[in-house]
Structures are given as structure tokens and as C-alpha cells.
Structure 1
Amino acid sequence: MKYIRILNLLKKISFGMSIFLFAVSLLSALANNFEVKSTVGNLIIAFIFLIPGLVIRKVIKGIRIRRLAEQREKFYSILEDPDQGIFPANVILKGNETCF
């Protein structure tokens, strides 16, 4: 969970920097009468900061999916061997059957 919080913070920083640099590129374009050289350079830098944010979002999604799969496997292992944990009386099993 700690890793997800850190990655979320990094994602927000990345997107924030991208938005800031995009705004700077638009302002510099207005100041320089849409001179192509400075505008394109700033836009490239803005997109460079955008890419890590997108990658971090995919990583966070992958971590969450893995954690959910681990929780599901742990849940089913408890159902298959009730001596390991609490056996709930009214739970849905893998094949959508109930316990009773």
C-alpha cells in the first residue's frame, strides 16, 4: 500500500509538471508570436513529463490487480481448507454454488 501511495504522488507530480510546461509553452508561443522553435521545444518537454505519469498509472493498475488476485486466492484456499481460517456458512464458491 505504501508503494501505491508513493507512485500516486509521483504520478501527480509528473502530470502537474506536464500541465505546467504545456502552459509555459503556450504562453511563450503567445509572447513570441507563435515562433515555432521555442513552442515545439517546450511542447516536447511537456510530453516527456507526461510519459512517466502514464507509465506509473499502468504500474499502479498492475499492482492493484496482483493484490486482488492474491486476496482472492487466499480467500479460496480458506474455503477449500476450513482448518486454516474461518469458514463462513453462507458464502459463494467458485462455481457459484453456496455452501449448503
Structure 2
Amino acid sequence: MYAVIKTGGKQYRVASGDKIKVEQIAADIGQEITIDQVLALGNGSDLKIGAPLVSGATVKVKVVSHGKHDKVRIFKLRRRKHYQKHQGHRQAYTELEIGSIAG
């Protein structure tokens, strides 16, 4: 069984036992969270699509860790104008382990 969930403005296709990295969630490591924004549920050839959400469907996840992705380097240059700018960014994430999918 799999589900399409929405968290942090993005959509993820998840199945039980998967580990995914999502936008940072304010939760402690080891805490269980219930995600109720389920857009679709699938089980083999059976597919249940919500409009926009599947009513009564939930996904239980466990917070595994928090961290930061690799650094993205930004370099801006305007030629012949004596302008250069260096920047960097590391996006924070929360790693989740998918538990049970109920729908």
C-alpha cells in the first residue's frame, strides 16, 4: 500500500518502511507524528484519489533525525561592472520513517 502525502509545500509518494527527507518539522527525534494531508491512496490496482484530500486517511511517521543538505553555492557576476557576489545556502531537513498508512 502506498500514499501520496503533502508536507512542506511538496508532495511525496510513500510506502510503509520508507525514509524520506522533508522540509524541517518542529518535532523531537523519536516523536511520532500523524500526517493527515493525504492526496491519494493506492493498493495494487486500486487507487483512491481525494478532492483535494482523502477523507479519514492518515499516515503515521516517526522522526529519525534533523540535519542540513549539502551547501548550494551562489555566484553572481555582472561583467565589466566590477560586481561579484558570493553566497551559500544549506536547507534544513527532517528525516522521517513511514510507519502505518490508514485509509
Q: Same fold by TM-score, threshold 0.5 exceeded?
A: no
Higher Rg:
1
TM-score, normalised relative to structure 2: 0.17
Higher relative contact order (CA 8 A, sep 6+): 2
Q: TM-score, normalised by structure 1?
A: 0.17
More helix by share: 1
Compare the two structures and name the one with the higher strand fraction: 2
